[in-house]
A and B are shown apart, each in its own frame.
Chain A
Amino acid sequence: MRGFMRGARVLGVGWILQLKILAVSAFDGILNIIYPLFFATTALLMFRQSGDPQALVYAGLGAAVMGTWSAMATSASGALQGQRWQGTLELLVTAPTRVALAVLPITAALATVALYSLVATLIWGRVLFGIEVHIASPLAFAVALLVTLASLATFGFLLSVTVVRYRTGWALGNLLEYPGWLLCGFLVPLDLFPEWVRVIARALPPTWGMDAIRAAAAGLDPWFDIAVCAGLGVGYAALGAFLSERLIDSARRHATLALT
């Protein structure tokens, strides 16, 4: 129980302070405002050509979650690389706390910032494109959003622990950004893809999260999708925690942590 409380404190304090780090930079703040809106605008301009209001609602919701994926995929691995550059990564590793408890708050803070991108994109779609998203089950919709963000945080955590071992592991996040837009069904229904692509897509938590968000908005039952999304999120967290210790041992053996 004492260990659990201590772990919870490390996660909580880490999350608050990492959020503080992200919040104080005006430059980062402006990028966080512009970046998701730019891609959402591009997507919505394309979907508007169809003249189908339902397609625009579909894209409006998808574009909102798309921004969170981009924020997590690229930023999570980049965040650990930033820690490497500023010399704090080795201090996290030499602390007696498990490195997973130090890294998870970083990606959780990024997911919190991503929540902004989601809300801002929905408002942007409403104001600029007149997309009215009627949410039939507000509670289920809110739960689906939060579970999707939490699972994105754990997915980002898994990506970011690779940076501890591999100096150029941050590139993995960049690599996944655009394929993720398609694989998670943000803008294009997964039914249009071959079966093998759908298998990969189903292994990604946001795919289920996206389905849950759409189902909750449409008044359908989202709970199975929410449960699978949460389960995958927990699975990625467990895998990240398991790998983090092994990757650190490997980093100690291969000297990929800072040596200066």
Chain B
Amino acid sequence: MSILEAHDLRRTFTTTTGVLRRNRKQVEAVRGVSFAIEPGELFGLLGPNGAGKTTTIKMLITLLLPTAGSANILGLDVVRDAREVRRHIGYVFGGDRGLYERLSAQDNLRYFAELYAVPARDQRARIGELLELVGLTGREKERVEGFSRGMRQRLHIARGLLHDPALLFLDEPSIGIDPVGARELRATIAGLRSAGKTILLTTHYMFEADELCDRIAVLSQGELVAEGTPAQLKARVTAGSVVEVETFSGVGPADVRGKVDAVGALPGVRSVVVDDRPDGETVVVQVEPGVDVTAAVLGTLSGIRVGRVVTREPTLEDAYVQLVSS
């Protein structure tokens, strides 16, 4: 039996504009998302900002009611059996929030241990184990307000694991963490996966998803546009190549972006994306197999100062970019 099953989940938000004459507008944040997570699996949910990842997670963790569709965790309905579902899930989100700043790490864990019904006789040992797991042993008496973001994030994970949940939701846990901290965090997540914990992870970092996830679903504009293992997703674009052209448009990125449609219309081009760099832009062109478009792309970009031109194998990030931009 799957640990989590989501069937045609939908969520619509009503937004209003105006003060005296209020105009209501319906926004469909999630439009019919279905997927399942198997026991022991680390499942990645990827998508750009506003794709509906967090809304999907909030429905699954019982913070939001779906407008339509259904989801169950261990056979328990997230709407009808919300309280019982909460006993079996842990929720960790990224960023600085979600902890009591003026309390020590130990007091934070103690408080949430009570709220998550960890038996009193087990609390001390459980908190000690988790502090050890996330590398905060020796710092437990310090107030959280003095913690670095990486330490806070690891404390968040410890909090999410207090009641040994069957399914752990990690919503962009590595956001804003420095590379060393992020590496430590990935090691912690990988350790949880090795220990058999089932995890749903959302992230913007493709290398993180590639390294950690067993399967990935890609959301775009509220819809699930692809699902598979990282290798399967990469295979969608590996039969081809990627041309990267560094540009220095001088009068602003609008110049390069004005030529994106023309580059995209070239024969053999699958998709085009412009990434900003501090000193210019990088035009990333995904190309059909057996086609060389380098000269045609450079010709289309005539008038713009061009730097390095590289042709390389596609990565998971390329697959992701193609999926969400197509």
Contacts and interface: CB of A to CB of B under 8 A. Distances in A.
A and B assemble together: yes
B63 A90 contact: yes
Interface string A88-105: 101111111100001000
B95 to A, nearest CB: 8
A86 B98 contact: yes
Among B93, B110, B111, B117, the most chain A Cβ lie within 10 Å of the Cβ of B111
From DSSP, what is the main secondary structure of chain B's interface residues? mixed
B129 interface: no
Nearest to B12: A255
Interface string A67-99: 000000000000000000111101111111100
A259 B58 contact: yes
Given A86-B101, A96-B86, A257-B63, A17 B115 contact: no
Contacts of B91: 91, 94
Contacts of A13: 110-111, 114
A21 B114 contact: no
Number of contact residues on A: which range applies? 20 to 34
B114 A14 contact: yes
A17 B98 contact: no
Among A97, A102, A249, the most chain B Cβ lie within 10 Å of the Cβ of A97
Among B102, B103, B110, the most chain A Cβ lie within 10 Å of the Cβ of B102
A97 B63 contact: no
A9 interface: yes
B103 A17 contact: yes
A20 interface: yes
A4 B83 CA distance: 18
Contacts of A91: 91, 98, 112, 115, 159
Contacts of B89: 94
A92 B91 CA distance: 11
Interface in B96-127: 97-103, 107, 110-112, 114-117, 120
B265 interface: no
Contacts of A199: none
A6 B117 contact: yes
A10 B114 contact: yes
A88 B99 contact: yes
Contacts of B103: 17, 20-21
Given A17-B103, A96-B86, A259 B55 contact: yes
B62 A87 contact: no
B235 interface: no
B294 interface: no
A95 B63 contact: no
B61 interface: yes
Nearest to B98: A87
Interface of B: 13, 54-55, 58, 61-65, 83-84, 86-87, 89, 91, 93, 95, 97-103, 107, 110-112, 114-117, 120, 143, 159
Interface of A: 6, 9-10, 13-14, 17, 20-21, 24-25, 85-88, 90-97, 102, 249, 252-253, 255, 257, 259-260
Given A88-B99, A102-B115, 17 more contacts: A13-B110, A17-B100, A17-B103, A21-B102, A24-B102, A86-B98, A86-B99, A86-B101, A90-B98, A91-B112, A92-B115, A94-B63, A94-B89, A97-B116, A253-B65, A255-B13, A259-B58
